[in-house]
Structure 1
Amino acid sequence: MRQFTLEYWKDDDWYVGRLKEVPGVFSQGETLEELEESVKDAYRLMMEDDTAILPNMHAPVYQKEIGVDI
C-alpha cells in the first residue's frame, strides 16, 4: 500500500481534494469519507494507464511561499 497526502477543502456543500504527490488526481464527495473513496478510485483509474504519470512520479516536488501584491 502506498501512502499519499490528501489535500482537501470545502466548496459549498462538497469536499474537493487532490493527492498532493500525484498531479492530476482530483475528486469530490458530499462527505469526507466519500471524497477519500472517490480520490482512491481516481488514482486507480489513472494508474491503469501507466504512461500517464509514472515517468515523473518519483521526481522531487518542491514548495515555496511567495508574496503577491494586490
Structure 2
Amino acid sequence: MKIKVLVFEAEEGGFWARVPSLPGCFTQGETMEELENNIREAVELYLDDDAAVGTEPGGEKGRILELAV
C-alpha cells in the first residue's frame, strides 16, 4: 500500500508529519529516519484500529453486505 504523507520542519527542530487521507494520523521525529519509522508505525496502528472496530480508513463506518445475484 502506498500512502501520501505531508512532512514539515518543526520550529523547535526535528520534523512532524500527517497523513491527509487518515484524519488524526500524525507523528514527529528528531530526524527524517526517525520520522519515517514513526509515521509507518502510526499508519499501521491507525489501520489496525480501524479494522478492529469495523471502519474504513478515515473513520467512515460501514458494513459488508453480501448479495447473491
**Bucket of the pairwise TM-score, normalised by the shorter protein:** 0.5 to 0.7
| Per-residue deviation, 1:4 | 1.6
Q: Which runs of 5+ in 2 are unaligned?
A: 61-69
User: Equivalents in 1 of 2:55, 2:11: separation in Å?
Assistant: 27
The two structures have a TM-score, normalised by structure 2, of 0.63
Q: Secondary structure at the match of 1:16?
A: strand
| Per-residue deviation, 1:14 | 2.2
Identity of aligned residues (%): 31
The two structures have a TM-score, normalised by structure 1, of 0.62
The equivalent of 2:38 in structure 1 is 38
Q: Which runs of 5+ in 1 are unaligned?
A: 59-70
| Per-residue deviation, 1:57 | 6.2
Aligned length: 58
After superposition, what is the alpha-carbon deviation per residue over 1:22-66, rounded to whole angstroms, capped at 9, x for unaligned?
1111101011121111011011011111238616468xxxxxxxx
The equivalent of 1:4 in structure 2 is 4
Against the structure 1 CA distance between its residues 26 and 47, is the aligned structure 2 distance closer, same or farther, given a 3 Å change threshold? same
Which ranges of 4 or more aligned residues in structure 1 deviate by more than 6 Å?
Answer: none
- Higher Rg: 2
Considering fraction of residues, name the structure with more strand.
Answer: 1
